[in-house]
Copies of this chain bind each other. A is one copy, B any other.
């Protein structure tokens, strides 16, 4: 299959998952005190913001990756589908996170599930990349091998750091959320090795 079809389909799933996040923000029932009701939804806004930037980031990195993949075999397609299944479920883990923080119960579990799910997603992401890297016939001809190795190291760092946050969640969920947020913003920053493309 041509890579551009996989790219278009993945883009569709990313775009839909990112937009469905808003459905988890419920309009307050009581309109007589709408101001306080809207303010009380801050956990939903926070979870929305983090997950939106996260999916946007995965989308951007997914393109960096697919740009270097010339051809797609059946196994790569399968691994990519697992990755998409992970991303498409983020509105659920996001809603769990928002609801737990909002209710004041189950925050540790919710943050750990949120982080654990990111670890799984990171593993799928790396599986796609490593599968392609070991099959030169799938890569763009003339791709810079030192660049792909640097990117692979960077991609592997993701799930490792999310795993730290997941473990942290059991002891202190607030710093764990802060870590996830910080990681996402950090990964958005331009890094010199990316620019060398």
Contact = CB atoms under 8 A, between A and B. Distances in A.
Contact of A96 (B27, B59, B113): B27
Number of identical protomers: 4
Interface in A51-86: 52-53, 56, 59-60, 63-64, 67, 73-75, 77-78, 81, 84-85
Interface stretch (A4-12, A139-147, A161-169): A4-12
Interface in A141-158: none
A178 interface: no
B9 A14 contact: yes
20 contacts: A5-B63, A8-B11, A11-B12, A13-B19, A16-B16, A19-B20, A20-B20, A22-B88, A22-B92, A27-B95, A27-B96, A28-B96, A31-B103, A34-B96, A34-B106, A48-B85, A53-B85, A56-B77, A60-B74, A74-B188
A171 interface: no
Contact of A17 (B19, B81, B105, B194): B19
A13 B9 contact: no
Contacts of A9: 11, 14-15, 59
Contact of A81 (B8, B53, B189): B53
Interface of A: 1, 5, 7-9, 11-25, 27-28, 31-35, 38, 48-49, 52-53, 56, 59-60, 63-64, 67, 73-75, 77-78, 81, 84-85, 88-89, 91-92, 95-96, 99-100, 103-106, 109-110, 113, 188-190, 194
B16 A19 contact: yes
